[in-house]
Amino acid sequence: MQFGLQLNSQHPATDNIRRRLEELIEQVRLAQRVGFHSIVAPQHYLAAPFHMLQPLPLLARLAAEAGDMRLIAGIILLALQQPVALAEEVGTLDAICNGRFTLGVALGYRDVEFQAFGVAKQDAVPRMIEALTVLKRLWTEDTVEHRGRFFTLPGVTLTTRPVQRPHPPIWMGADNDAAVKRAARLADTWYINPHAKLATLERQMALYRDALDEVGKAFPTELPIRRELFVAKDRETALRICMPYLERKYQTYVAWGQSGALPQGDTLDLPFETLRDQRFIIGSPEDCIEQLQHYHERLGANHFLLRIQWAGMPQEQVLEAIALFGEQVIPQLLHV
């Protein structure tokens, strides 16, 4: 197994954004020291009531502290991007980290983001697919002429290419069933979402395997999954510390419409105790080890991207949890 730290780049808009950035730098230094394998930064725009640091410049700043850890953009809202700009930015960032960058992409779901970028929500899927096609061509072809529905390239050459060949790994986030099948067709692996309960993910894993078989692709050697996790000396302490922040975060998800992006029969609009028991990994180091093994055995997941902080949580509590996880959980699961 491998373990990544999901950076909480989202904080109350009244917070000092520079101070929060300095705290992220401290978290990454600690994560690197205690054995994490990667850091991952998410993306949203217009994230009120929070401010949110954008993933590509944030990862570029953290590259020095990350050392040999992988830098993962998880996820970029690809339907809102201009592929030439993104292709060059990815090439730049992959050079900065010497070929240790991974590009995670997905559609997004928030109306305010689509409206602000002038993208019709019904065009999100074909626009994302076309953008991904253009990205791959720019990274692998000498000259790209493209006249599509959303983008036109009049015979161009991209010279700022990634260090990795043919390009960095592409992970695709997917919540609903159609998106899971799309990830099998278009991406190197499915980036399993943090919101669905395990029973839903097990059912979707069967769909994912079938879709891979249909296009003649092998099951990926790396299967990443994002989860909310908090570890403390015992389960009671872990719940007491994290619950106010995690509960508020999921209330925001419901307000933003994330629940509507889940497959039929699953929802986030539930009492916190129900959400907690079906989706989150919270407890002692022994509890975390048991639950992570459970996800590995039932889904085949082997790269866990773990968010250990939520908006408003004090830095001291976050650092204690990162250190405890690195010292008492990671060593027990490295060779599973």
Question: Which CATH number do you get for residue 206?
Answer: 3.20.20.30
Q: What are phi and psi of 312, to 5 degrees?
A: 95, -15
Q: What are phi and psi of 227, to 5 degrees?
A: -140, 155
Strands 152-156 and 144-147: antiparallel
Q: 233 near 302, Cβ under 8 Å? A: no
Q: 105 near 43, Cβ under 8 Å? A: no
Q: Residue 256's pLDDT is what?
A: 72
Q: What are phi and psi of 263, to 5 degrees?
A: -65, 160
CA 67 – CA 29 distance, rounded (Å) = 9
Task: Please list the residues that pair with 282 across neighbouring strands.
Answer: 230
Number of domains in the chain: 1
- Would you give the distance in Å from CA 296 to the centre of its chain? 18
Q: Residue 17's pLDDT is what?
A: 95
**Domain range for 200:** 2-333
Task: Please list the residues that pair with 172 across neighbouring strands.
Answer: 105, 190
Q: Quick check: helix, strand or coil at residue 76?
A: strand
0.85 surpassed by pTM: yes
CA 237 – CA 231 distance, rounded (Å) = 9
Q: Residue 268's pLDDT is what?
A: 58
The number of C-alpha atoms within 13 Å of 333 and in the hemisphere containing its C-beta is: 29
3-state secondary structure 187-225: CCEEEECCCCCHHHHHHHHHHHHHHHHHCCCCCCCCCEE
| Nearest-10 crossing angle of helices 177-186, 124-140 | 10
Q: 53 near 21, Cβ under 8 Å? A: yes
Q: 303 near 1, Cβ under 8 Å? A: yes
Per-residue tens of pLDDT for the chain, all 336 residues? 999 999 999 999 999 999 999 999 999 999 999 999 999 999 999 999 899 999 999 999 999 999 999 999 999 999 999 999 999 999 999 999 999 999 999 999 899 999 999 999 999 999 999 999 999 999 999 999 999 999 999 999 999 999 999 999 999 999 999 999 999 999 999 999 888 888 899 999 999 999 999 999 999 999 999 999 999 999 999 999 998 898 887 777 767 776 666 666 666 566 667 666 678 999 999 999 999 999 999 999 999 999 999 989 999 999 999 999 999 999 999 887
Helix (H), strand (E) at residue 101: strand 101-106
Q: Residue 73's pLDDT is what?
A: 98
Helix (H), strand (E) at residue 52: strand 50-52
